[in-house]
Structure 1
Amino acid sequence: MSHQLADESVLQFPILIGDIGGTNARFAILIDSFAEPTHFPVVQTADFATIDEAIQSTILDRTSVQPRSAVLAVAGPVDGDEIELTNCPWVVRPHAMMKELGLVDVVVLNDFEAQALAVVALGEEHMEKIGPGEPDPNAGRVVLGPGTGLGVAGLIRACQRWIPVPGEGGHMDIGPRTARDHEIFAHIEPIEGRISGEQLLCGRGLVSVYRAVAKADGATPRFTTPAEITGAALEKSDRVAEEAVELFVTCLGRTAGDLALVFMSRGGVYLTGGIAQKIVPALQTGAFRAAFEDKAPHRELMRNMPVYVITHPLAAVAGLAAYARTPMRFGVETEGRRWKA
């Protein structure tokens, strides 16, 4: 790669890092390529009318450091000069941001690209292993995140760089396999004639599964939130909640296994987000790995693929910081997603 291209990819320090979701935004500042990110308190997006206001009052007003560049990850498609967030009224306007906040360079990525970057930025001390398998350090990887929705990204190694592959893998079809599955799936409402992974494998999806299990048994649902359902299941205090979480874990294993085959992810499959972190005991029971490996004729291949839960609370920020330090290490396409003053 030419020196000119290398120079163009470099970002000026200090760099503002931002992981902006529908509910929370997490920010940090990277002083130089050797420093650890300086983190700031988590911002509730509802507390500020605009992202610029949030950055000014929660970061710039509290530090003497003036960022020159910004690398932001947003939960929503990056398209054009006004980037709307999926579950939040904030709009990212890079030109206005540069003018108001004194920045000269702004890069905006997809939130699951940031999660994919985190997979190579974090060490195993920030991961909980689920079952057998050892990673091939240079092989493809998959990131899967059941949260507000179901985020999916691939990560492939090519031309000595890590290349994140974002997409809409959370919207693949998912269906019943066992007789019991058929009883439960009959009570999950399709959208336009089909059931996608995201209808089950997210917070509201877990609630849907729980209600479907209750209906299949003629039981009255007691809980209304994902936290109540997972809590009761892990405490073994409610049979319907237990079965709902077991089916959730099984379907997550099936979907993770499908994606592992698509990306041939001998480098590992990585589960991210709060739901995965909260249900680690349920993921360790064996149902997840059984479903993950049940991919005849490739059972042996699947058995050797490791699966991890990322336990770092600021994984996306760590991924963005790794990219900001050394953009040349990653094959991130910034055309149409980078603005310079």
Structure 2
Amino acid sequence: MRETVVVDIGGTHARFAVARAGADGAISLDEPETLHTADHASFQTAWEAFRARKGGTLPPAVSMAIAGPVGNPGNPNPVIRFTNNPWIIRPALITEKLGVERFTLVNDFAAVAHAVARADDSQFLHLAGPDKPLGSEGTISVLGPGTGLGVAHLWRSGAQYRVQATEGGHIDFAPLDSIEDAILARLRRRHNRVSVERVVAGPGIVDIYQALAALEQRSVPERDAIEIWNLGTSGQDSLAAAAVDRFCLSLGSVAGDIALAQGGFAGVVIAGGLGYRIRETLLASGFAERFRAKGRFESLMAGIPVKLIVHPQPGLFGAAAAFFAQHGEAA
């Protein structure tokens, strides 16, 4: 039995667990613990708090999934900084500060792609395309709307696979109808360049909602993203529901574009907490139709299985998979 601590670090929370790889290579996690980043002065003090909760000892290895870039080939002594919390991680000091012998650093969405590669079929909900498992050969595109839009892809051939993190959430937003033209025009008043992340990430629902209100010349109260999502998914507010449906349409378009650009013909996976929360809405929306709507390539797109990963902790599971892939199943 091989063990490592796994950590999924975001702006607000850091989730910790101990991961184990069995003799057959199967990965399991113990019960994760969530610490608020604001409650700890540094990652080291959060690590020490988790260690105390575990009785004072931890495996001498750690794998961290980090919401942001984790390496710069041109910088031999990189410093990892976070957008929404004050922690700083210096990779050169990890073994000394944490008392570990081995470590892995992985982008959070690369970790999700590792999870996709290692999760079994029961961890996926079918969304669109043929109802069959993800392909065992070729490229699988992975994207997830959350605070931003994470994008990665993996290539696999049987049991072998490779993961690549990307910044695909920052490609240009391409409207397909007059309503999306209006959404783009609204966003262009604040941003010279509008990326898909401005529309198909959680906060984008506010601009969609306001753009729809302007089209109908309606005066609506200022609402934050959480309120609009709640009103829209529950059906309590018809304009919010229209905004949610529009979000699903745009997400389908973007997912199809990502698949075309990456060659993700072995499958596409939607990840992230938002995707899971709106899964029933996605199934009932025009997501699948928009995913296929690629002109001359519509028949190609119709043959791609599109799934939603429902593993409860894909970041932690993927961090473990990345660790064992880097250090070997015998690490």
TM-score for both structures, normalised by structure 1: 0.86
Comparing 118-127 and 167-176, the one that deviates more: 118-127
d(CA) in 2 for partners of 1:32 and 1:141? Answer: 24
Residue of structure 1 aligned with 2:125, choices 111, 128, 141: 128
d(CA) in 2 for partners of 1:263 and 1:151? Answer: 14
Task: Find the residue that maps to 1:157 and give its secondary structure.
Answer: strand
Label 1:39 to 1:96 Cα distance change in 2 as closer, same or farther (>3 A): farther
Counterpart for residue 327 of structure 1: 326
d(CA) in 1 for partners of 2:183 and 2:28? Answer: 48
Comparing 293-302 and 62-71, the one that deviates more: 62-71
Counterpart for residue 310 of structure 2: 311
Q: CA deviation at 1:291?
A: 0.4
d(CA) in 2 for partners of 1:219 and 1:329? Answer: 59
Q: CA deviation at 1:256?
A: 0.3
Task: Find the residue that maps to 1:114 and give its secondary structure.
Answer: helix
Are 1:53 and 2:53 matched, yes or no? Answer: no
Counterpart for residue 9 of structure 2: 20
Q: CA deviation at 1:13?
A: 4.7
Task: Find the residue that maps to 1:71 and give its secondary structure.
Answer: strand
Label 1:221 to 1:160 Cα distance change in 2 as closer, same or farther (>3 A): same
Matches within 5 A, 1:132-151: 132-133=129-130, 134=132, 135-151=134-150
Are 1:171 and 2:170 matched, yes or no? Answer: yes
Does the aligned pair in 2 maintain the 1:14–1:66 contact within 8 Å? no
Label 1:222 to 1:123 Cα distance change in 2 as closer, same or farther (>3 A): farther
Counterpart for residue 193 of structure 1: 192
Counterpart for residue 337 of structure 1: none
d(CA) in 1 for partners of 2:262 and 2:233? Answer: 32
Q: CA deviation at 1:60?
A: 4.2
d(CA) in 2 for partners of 1:185 and 1:324? Answer: 41
Task: Find the residue that maps to 1:36 and give its secondary structure.
Answer: strand
Label 1:329 to 1:309 Cα distance change in 2 as closer, same or farther (>3 A): farther
TM-score for both structures, normalised by structure 2: 0.89
Counterpart for residue 225 of structure 1: 224
Corresponding letter in the other structure for 1:20: I
d(CA) in 1 for partners of 2:136 and 2:265? Answer: 8
Deviations 1:66-124 (CA, angstroms, capped at 9, x unpaired): 32111111111123442112222111123433223211222211111101101012123
Corresponding letter in the other structure for 1:323: A
Counterpart for residue 67 of structure 2: 75
Does the aligned pair in 1 maintain the 2:65–2:111 contact within 8 Å? yes
Corresponding letter in the other structure for 2:62: A
d(CA) in 2 for partners of 1:328 and 1:61? Answer: 27
What stretches of structure 2 of length at least 5 have no aligned partner? Answer: 72-76
Q: CA deviation at 1:61?
A: 4.4
Does the aligned pair in 1 maintain the 2:248–2:285 contact within 8 Å? no
Percent sequence identity over matched residues? 31
> RMSD of aligned C-alpha atoms?
2.3
Does the aligned pair in 2 maintain the 1:160–1:329 contact within 8 Å? no
Does the aligned pair in 2 maintain the 1:26–1:41 contact within 8 Å? yes
Counterpart for residue 251 of structure 1: 250
d(CA) in 1 for partners of 2:225 and 2:14? Answer: 21
Task: Find the residue that maps to 1:128 and give its secondary structure.
Answer: strand
Task: Find the residue that maps to 2:296 and give its secondary structure.
Answer: coil
Are 1:42 and 2:34 matched, yes or no? Answer: yes
Deviations 1:13-67 (CA, angstroms, capped at 9, x unpaired): 5311111111111111135545622233211111111011011112344235432
Does the aligned pair in 1 maintain the 2:252–2:287 contact within 8 Å? yes
d(CA) in 1 for partners of 2:34 and 2:289? Answer: 37
Q: CA deviation at 1:252?
A: 0.6
d(CA) in 2 for partners of 1:184 and 1:75? Answer: 27
Q: CA deviation at 1:286?
A: 4.0
Task: Find the residue that maps to 2:116 and give its secondary structure.
Answer: helix
Label 1:224 to 1:158 Cα distance change in 2 as closer, same or farther (>3 A): same
Deviations 1:251-307 (CA, angstroms, capped at 9, x unpaired): 110010011112222321111111111111221114000100001111111111111
d(CA) in 1 for partners of 2:18 and 2:189? Answer: 44
Task: Find the residue that maps to 2:176 and give its secondary structure.
Answer: coil
Matches within 5 A, 1:268-279: 268-279=267-278
d(CA) in 2 for partners of 1:201 and 1:59? Answer: 38
d(CA) in 2 for partners of 1:96 and 1:58? Answer: 19
Does the aligned pair in 1 maintain the 2:169–2:195 contact within 8 Å? yes
d(CA) in 1 for partners of 2:167 and 2:325? Answer: 27
Label 1:188 to 1:130 Cα distance change in 2 as closer, same or farther (>3 A): same
What stretches of structure 1 of length at least 5 have no aligned partner? Answer: 1-11, 331-341
Does the aligned pair in 2 maintain the 1:200–1:248 contact within 8 Å? yes
Q: How many residues align?
A: 319
d(CA) in 2 for partners of 1:329 and 1:240? Answer: 52
